[in-house]
Structure 1
Amino acid sequence: MSVGATYDAYRGRLETYFDRTAFDAWAKLTSDAPVSGIRATVRAGRDEMRTRLLDWLPADLTGKRILDAGCGTGALAVEAAKRGASVVAVDVSAQLVNLARERLPSELDIDFRAGDMLGDHGEFDHVVAMDSLIHYRFADIVAAAARLQARTRGTLLFTVAPRTPLLLAFQGIGKLFPRSDRSPAIIPASPARLMRDLAQNGWTAGRDARTSTAFYKSHAIEMVRG
């Protein structure tokens, strides 16, 4: 399934946002540095979601190949590598990828790449896309997830923005940031509908769960091959 022109357009906006507009803010958010109350709840929510997705992966990943699709500064990729996985970590932001390389513990080896997470990165045992599809329209999410399924031997784990009063009111977490580093809009999507649409061609819907802190709302979905 091919993604539409809107996918490419939105991906370009994300590249501009993370590389030029909000790099410093996101570098701080993904560190241990003190942040404001609102950003602290976003950080806590992201930490909780990352832990959930990692819990859905096998405890021992030795010999497994993992794609971290939309890796940001590499926190999930690092944890997967600590479990023995061979990790390819891709992000549209070259700036965030460079920061991920700088933060990488010396004892680990992760293949960080700047570019499109849907590019030709090979085949994988598991693919994780945490908060990587939340800025895209529903049709683009389905098409992108299907593309990732096509190169996944085991499970695809990804998150979407659930339709909640908070997200509808603010049109996404990014609008809670100062205007100078405000993110592109987050587009709510129906987890149940996504799971139905992607449960075909040998795939079944697995677990799903929501992470909710004061200013972070995200819904995790597991799709299982076979």
Structure 2
Amino acid sequence: MANKALKNTAPSDPKDKQNDKQIVRDYFNSTGFDRWRRIYGEGEVNRVQRDIRTGHQQTVDYVLSWFKNDQNAVEQTVCDAGCGTGSLSIPLAAMGAKVYASDISEKMVGEGKANAVNPENPIFEVNDLAKLSGEYDTVICLDVLIHYPDRESEQMIAHLASLAKSRLILSFAPKNPYYVLMKKVGDMVPGPSKATRAYLHKEADVRRVLKELGFKIKRQEFTATSFYFSRLLEAVRN
């Protein structure tokens, strides 16, 4: 949900950061679920939601193209951490990957199960990213790090990396002067979307963490529409 960097406020009190997880869970199990189900779906949406849908789908398509180009989806184990309604998990499973899809929102997971053609693949489960376990050929986390402040995002990247046997794919909202300004402007615009906090991350910091964890960047892409911006990195073990 990289676009929420435009319109959501960050906490002024560091103690508030402890509430981020519960805020996100509550949001995506209530008003946020209806909003994002429309965005991830194919029905009628407003101009802003259509723009976000286009941006998110472009990020998903980049990931799918990497699997197609490598011709290695069949039988590969994949963890889709923060799967939403299954916009990535379901097509990956159709390509032959064995997908474990998790999300903190029970409603999102329920929608993913309803959208899936094969009830056995992907395997959808309600789970907190910090509690994910197991070992997978590829771990993917798209548009989720925006919910984590810097220190917590680095810890989360390290945790996800510990689950990945060979590859970790991440997307995040990059922090630079232009997007910081856009976020400040968005913060001044009232609206119901201001339900979760949003955090931008310096690309250099994300790359540093991946390097320290023993990964190198193999491929990268960038998506920018009017209301959605996201840096996508594919990191492989050295």
TM-score, normalisation: structure 2: 0.84
Which residue of structure 2 aligns with residue 170 of structure 1?
183
Pick from 97, 119, 139 the counterpart of residue 127 of structure 1.
139
Aligned partner of 1:105 among 111, 114, 117: 117
Cα offset, 1:222, TM superposition: 1.7
Contact 1:63 1:85 in 2 (8 A): yes
Structure 1 residue 136: Cα displacement: 1.1
Q: Which residue of 2 aligns with 1:204?
A: 216
For 1:215 and 1:95, the matched residues in 2 are separated by: 24
Residue aligning to 2:85: 73
Residue identity matched to 1:138: D
- Are the counterparts in 2 of residues 67 and 128 from structure 1 also a CA contact under 8 Å? yes
Read off the aligned partner of 1:49 and give its amino acid letter: T
2:75 corresponds in structure 1 to 63
Q: Which has the higher contact order (CA 8 A, sep 6+)?
A: 2
Contact persistence 1:82–1:108 (CA under 8 A): no
Residue equivalent to 2:22:
12
* Superposed CA offset, 1:155-201 (max 9, x none): 1001111125355333598x699733434132111112211222124
Counterparts of 1:88 and 1:189 in 2: how far apart (Å)? 26
2:35 is matched with: 25
Q: 1:206 to 1:139 in 2, by over 3 A?
A: farther
Distance in 2 between the 1:26 and 1:80 partners? 20
Say if 2:161 and 2:213, in contact at 8 Å, map to a contact too: no
Rounded to whole Å, the distance in 2 between the matches of 1:71 and 1:196 is 25
Residue type of the partner of 2:157?
Answer: A
Give the Cα separation in 1 of the matches to 2:97 and 2:188: 35
Q: 1:41 aligns with which of 24, 48, 51?
A: 51
Q: Is contact 2:80–2:141 with CA below 8 Å preserved after alignment? A: yes
Map 1:207-226 onto structure 2 (within 5 A).
207-226=219-238
Does the Cα contact within 8 Å between 1:97 and 1:112 map onto a contact in 2? yes
Using structure 1 for the length normalisation, give the TM-score: 0.88
Contact 1:27 1:73 in 2 (8 A): yes
Are the structure 2 counterparts of residues 98 and 11 from structure 1 closer, same or farther at C-alpha, using a change threshold of 3 Å?
same
Specify the SS of the correspondent of 2:212. coil
Deviation of 1:15 after TM superposition, in Å, equals 0.4
The corresponding residue for 1:153 is: 165
Identical aligned pairs, as a percentage? 26
Name structure 1 gaps, 5 residues minimum. Answer: none
From 89, 111, 126, the counterpart of 1:114: 126
Consecutive unaligned residues of structure 2, counting only runs of 5 or more, are 1-14
CA distance in 2, matches of 1:8, 1:104: 34
Q: 83, 87, 103: which is aligned to 1:91?
A: 103
State the Cα RMSD in Å.
2.5
Query: Counterpart of 1:199 in structure 2: which amino acid?
Result: K
Higher helix share: 2
